[in-house]
Every structure is written in structure tokens, then in C-alpha cells.
Amino acid sequence: MSMTMKRTLWISGAIFLIALCFWFYQLWQGLILTNMVNSYSWGLYISGLAFFVGNAAGGLVLTSSIYLFGVKKLKPLAKLGALTAFANVTAAMLIVLPDIGKPLRLMYLALHPNFMSPLVWDVIVLNLYALASAIYLYILLLPELTGKLSWLAIKVNNPHDFSERWAKRIAPVALLFAIGIHVVTAWIFSTQGARDWWHSPAMAPDFVSVAIAVGTTVVLLAGALAYGTGQQYEEAYRTLGLIIFMATCIHLFLMMNDLVIHAWYGNAETHRIMEIAWGDFAWAHIFEVAAPFIGAGLLMLPAVRRSLPLLALSSGMLIAGVFIHRFLIMPAAYNNIPMTLTPLGLPNTHWSLPIASGRFLPGMSTFLDQYSYTPSLVEVMILLGIMAYAVFLVVLAISKLPILVKGNA
């Protein structure tokens, strides 16, 4: 194990342990430590869920497509894709725990599931996806589970042929799981008819396109860090850069299309949404559009792909832009509280309907019709800790398992 990998493990492990302390503190004191209230009940944690699910979906989409369509030049990255998918889907499952407050509430979900709720569908799909990505990774690793790792291998006559054959057979199922996990996550939002910002049929395909863009970027960055940016991987990185750019363009088209439609039909609620999205959060929205587009565009340039610092910077821009995009799902939806009624024979009547804040703190109103949400230190630290967990798991697996192609790392 290299010194860089050891240092990464120590740093990410320390951040995760610190985050655990913050989570235990939240368990002790309750969700009052977050800055969420009744009228703003989903915040940084659910943004993190959507972000991790996207990373996971994109990773397995890439890996399964390599075997489904026979893209041989990307095979050295196949195990990395499955590994990042597993790390991110387990991170998505972990981020749910601090959001629900008491983890024991999951027992109620297991004992009394409401199958009409997309939340239940998402829990099922997350668990199935974690299982699918773990199985796929194991099948890809099987031919190289020798020596000290031989106890992990199942006994088959020809492990290499077995691995290739089953990787191709499972690829269509894995691809469906990868797309399905993000479609179901999008349905959690888009089926909320009372939240006009979410209630759109474009949300599911937009989530899938974002997942392919950011998940492929994570695999590209992990591959560049592991293998370097030498000439032998130039063709593979060029293909990944093209996939990232196309997926980003589709995402931006779907997002702009949705915004134009929202603005065009223009009832009172919709106009209020646009004021919040492009008024109160204008700079953040500009960043969520510009950063992925610029980052994806830079990854199309050979000079950027050959330079590890430039590749990392471009990838970081895209990933940061997508994270801000996930965070900005919330404000316009939760702060669009005013309602519109149309009594018979009369024009629209518009007024503000306040909602109980659920808090009794000095300086805070008991009832709110708008809430300026800023994540608390506890929320930020817990999210950073789960990000560190994903990094720790990927680096640990690379150091202990034959994830990388021998001689090229």
C-alpha cells in the first residue's frame, strides 16, 4: 500500500469517526440540532441521498454497459465502476439514518410497509441495488481471487470464463437496477402533487442523465488517480469524457425545458417558485448550470485528460455543480407555501397559508410562511463523514482486493 493510500485511509477514517460522534450527539439531543423545521422537513441529508444514489447508479450503468455492449477498452475500469457503485449506494443508505431521527423507525417500515409510498419502493430498490452491485463486483473479481484471497472464491472449473459469461448475463439486469434506483428516487419527489417545483414528468429522466454524468465522472477520476493519465488509457478516458459531456447536455436540456414550461403556464404558485429559484438562489442556480457544463466541456479536451490536476479540477467542478443541483431541489419546493383558490365566477384569490414551525426558540415565529434554511454544523459534519466513508471503502478495497489491472496501477 502506497503512502498516499495510507494517508487517505487515515484522513477519511478520522473524518468518519468524528461524524459518528456528531450523529451520536444528534441521537442524544434529537433533530432539534438540525436547522430543519415542520415547514422545511427535508434538507441536507435528503440532498445527500439523491447525490449518493446518482453516483451509485452511474457507476453500475457504466460497468454493466461495458459487458452488455462489449466495450473492451473500458474493461480496466469495470471493477472500479462496480466498487464506486457499492460504496455510494451504502453511503445513500447510511445518510437515511440521521434524517429519520431514530433508527428504530426502520423497524416500523419493515413491519408495516405502505407499498403505495415511493419511499418504501426506494428502500427496496436501494437494498436490491446494493446486493446487485456487490454480486457484480464479486463476479468480476473471481478470476483473481487467488493466494491469500482464495478462500473467498467459489469453486468453478474455469474462473475466467465463468466470470466473463456471468458478467454478460447479469449486465442487462444490473443496468435495469442502475436506472431503476434513480427513477424510483425521482418518483419520491415528482409524485408530490403539492410541491409544484418537483411535480414534473421530466424529473425521472433528468435524474438518470445526471446519474450517468456524475457516476461516470467519479469512475473517470478514480481511474485517473489509480492508473494515471498515460497514453495507454487515453482512448478509455476519451470515451468516458464523451459520455459525461452528452449526459450533462441532456441533463441541462431537461432542466431548462422544465423551467420554460413552468414559466410559460405561469399560475401564481409557479411564478413564486421562479422568484425563489432564480431570485433568492440565483447565484447557486447559475453555478449548478455553469459548473457541470464547463467541467464536462473541459473533459472533452485531450490536454485536460492528460493532466491529472486539470482532470481532477474539471471532475471536481462537475461533481460540485451536481451536488448544488441536488441541494437546490429543496428551497423552491418548501418555500412555495402560498396557495391559490379560484371561487366560481371570481378571479384567483392569493394568500399566504402559514405552517407551524415545530420549534419554540427565541426570535423564531411559531408560524411560518417562508423559511430560510441553512444546514447546521451537525448536518454538514455528518454528510462529510458519510462522504469520507465512501472514500475510505473505495481506497481500502483497492488496497486489499485485485480491483486494478496488474502492472498498470
Set out the domains of the chain in order of their start, with CATH numbers: 3-343+350-400 (1.20.1630.10)
pLDDT tens, per residue, the chain with 409 residues: 677 778 889 999 999 999 999 999 999 998 888 888 776 778 899 999 989 988 888 888 888 888 888 888 888 888 888 999 999 999 999 998 998 888 888 888 778 888 877 778 888 888 888 988 899 899 888 888 777 877 777 787 888 888 888 888 888 888 888 888 888 888 888 887 767 777 778 888 888 899 899 989 999 998 888 888 877 888 889 999 999 999 999 999 998 887 777 777 666 666 667 777 777 778 888 898 999 999 999 999 999 998 989 999 999 999 999 999 888 887 766 665 544 555 555 555 554 555 555 565 666 665 555 667 788 899 999 999 999 999 999 989 888 888 876 655 5
CA pair distance 142, 139, nearest whole angstrom? 5
Distances (CA, A) of 328 to 207, 285, 322: 14, 8, 10
Q: What is the pTM of this model?
A: 0.85
Residue type for position 317 = M
182: CB partners within 8 A, 6+ apart: 53, 54, 57, 204, 207, 208, 211
CA pair distance 170, 69, nearest whole angstrom? 13
